[in-house]
Amino acid sequence: MEQSMQTDKAYGGLMSYLLTFRKDFATDDEFNRFVMESVRSFVYDLRDVQVYITIYPSFMKQRGKEVPV
């Protein structure tokens, strides 16, 4: 199960924008899927301006620490 969003945290511009859609989703899991789809699309679009970002699935994290790939 995914962790709930922190309501008292100050987020950057992109996350703040995505959070405006939170009310449209019944569960955190549904919202998290929307966020991942949006981020994947954004990462792909950034290639047009020669910015390359790699993301990896959450199952590659173990006990709060990143697993080296």
The sign of the CA dihedral 59, 31, 2, 4 is positive
- What confidence score (pLDDT) does residue 15 get? 93
- What confidence score (pLDDT) does residue 56 get? 76
pTM of the predicted protein model: 0.68
Question: Could you read off the pLDDT tens digit of each residue along the chain, which spans 69 residues?
Answer: 445 666 668 999 999 999 999 999 999 999 999 999 999 999 999 999 999 988 877 766 665 555 554
Q: CA of 53: how far to CAs of 2, 9, 10, 26, 42, in Å?
A: 23, 24, 23, 30, 10
Helix H or strand E segment including 14: helix 13-19
Q: What residue spans define the domains of the chain?
A: 13-63
